[in-house]
A = this chain, B = another copy of it.
Amino acid sequence: MEDLGPFPSRPGYNEATALDQSDPLGSFRELFVNTDPELIYLDGNSLGRMPIAAKEVIRLVVEEQWSDRLIRSWNEGWWELQLRLGDKLAPLVGAKNGEVVISDSTSINLYKLAYAAVRSSKEGRRKIVTDDLNFPTDVYILDGIARELDLELVIVESDGINGPIDPLSKAIDRTTALVSLSHTVFKSGYTYDMAALTSMCHAAGALVLWDLSHSVGAMPIDLNGSGADLAVGCTYKYLNGGPGSPAFLYVRREHQQRLADPISGWWGHEDPFGFGLEWTPTEGIRKFHAGTMPILSLAAIEPGLDHALEATPQAIRHKSEALSNYLIDLSRTALEPRGFSLASPTDQALRGSHVSFAHENAWPITKAMIEVGKMIPDFRNPDNVRIGLSPLYTTFLEVHTAVCRMADLIDSEAYQEFEGASATVT
């Protein structure tokens, strides 16, 4: 792997550069830190790049708020920060002010909302429905709740790539309390029709809880318009909020009064500084928030939200589709002959912003891409190389270069060393 620049002599190069030149979001790339121009980062769906503006936000928290203002900062913006940023995030998911709060981790939020949902359901609704495409932590959390409350967790089987719509429609019935699905699934990138699935759930009288981790920041989402009841999601993928940045949760306004957070902490109390010993939950979304938030990580979310809002989810989606179609096109001639097969939906309407390829040597290929290929994709057990396309900073030329590098890598002697590597993630 000597040549790590682009490949002007290969087919498609001119198309890639032309697509970049006419990309209306092209200028957003400059808003993100890029310390290594040779590196092609294809994992922004796992940890987004750092917005340059995040440096100043972090500096403010460190140098002025924590260092200088100290405890006074709680009255100068920190106390409301998770609500203010929740309101800022709301338009990215089709929610209103007061329906979103930044809080805890996705796993904790899923627990809170799923628990609240099933506890609010009528007697006789003893079933939680999900699918086998859901992110494992979601399934584990739902399973834990089901075991605890003596409910049945039904994990509907898919073909491994596409949402199992028909089996879901059969599984969701009058005994179903809650349906919980990933909007865009973490492995294949399959993306549910939120409105259609939500209607299916509501027709059976079930609540629906969407995990938006892999779709938020990559496409328009309309929680309000689709009638969705509940949602959670993370902010460190396409929203570029920083490593492990706090997650968010959404509770449709009409459910806020009725649902009870099982974790009844003081931040959700009507009068947190009254220090009374009786639990009186506040009204509104704050009641789903238990304890003090990690301010450094919370504050750092804001620039990523600003960039996504400025770009607009519609334009982001437009570019995302173009990027993934372009990648899939190139893969047919460069990757398929080398043993890769598309492990994502071919129909762009059913696909999020990452594309997975199955390969029997997916793990050594991923390892070689990272260690000698100057590309960072993600490996997903057992046989997927997952390519994340971040519309705000991934370029068409990067996609072109990455595909050329992947092909060259597979053909190279350097790669042979990796083929013997264990399939264990290290």
Contacts and interface: CB of A to CB of B under 8 A. Distances in A.
Report copies per complex.
2
B296 A242 contact: yes
Interface stretch (A35-43, A90-98, A163-171, A412-420): A35-43
Contact of A71 (B66, B290, B376): B376
Contacts of A141: 263-265, 290
A73 interface: yes
Contact of A43 (B47, B50, B70): B70
Contacts of A380: 275
A143 interface: yes
Contacts of A273: 381, 425
Interface in A46-78: 46-47, 49-50, 54-55, 58, 61-62, 65-68, 70-75, 78
Nearest to A137: B266
Contacts of A263: 107-108, 111, 141, 144
Nearest to A290: B107
A73 B242 CA distance: 12
A294 B426 contact: no
Interface string A19-45: 000000000000001011000010100
Contacts of A106: 291-292
Most B CB within 10 A of own CB, among A141, A155, A246, A297? A297
A396 B267 CA distance: 35
Contacts of A139: 277, 279
Interface residues of A, number: 82
Contact of A262 (B58, B144, B295, B296): B144
Contact of A108 (B245, B265, B376): B265
Given A111-B263, A143-B264, A144-B264, A276 B136 contact: yes
B50 A67 contact: yes
A398 interface: no
B65 A292 contact: no
A236 B75 CA distance: 17
Given A105-B291, A263-B107, A290-B105, A381 B75 contact: no
A263 B110 CA distance: 9
Given A72-B370, A298-B244, A265 B140 contact: yes
A294 B294 contact: yes
B62 A58 contact: yes
Interface string A136-179: 11011101100010000001000000000000000000000000
A6 interface: no
Contacts of A47: 66, 70-71, 73-74
Given A33-B67, A144-B279, A244-B292, 17 more contacts: A33-B68, A41-B70, A47-B74, A50-B62, A72-B370, A78-B243, A78-B244, A104-B105, A105-B291, A106-B292, A136-B272, A137-B291, A143-B279, A155-B277, A243-B295, A247-B291, A294-B296
11 contacts: A47-B70, A71-B378, A72-B370, A104-B105, A105-B292, A106-B292, A107-B290, A140-B279, A143-B264, A234-B292, A247-B291
Interface of A: 33, 35-36, 41, 43, 46-47, 49-50, 54-55, 58, 61-62, 65-68, 70-75, 78, 104-108, 111, 132, 135-137, 139-141, 143-144, 148, 155, 187, 234, 236, 242-247, 262-267, 269, 272-277, 279, 290-298, 300, 370, 376, 378, 380-381, 425-426
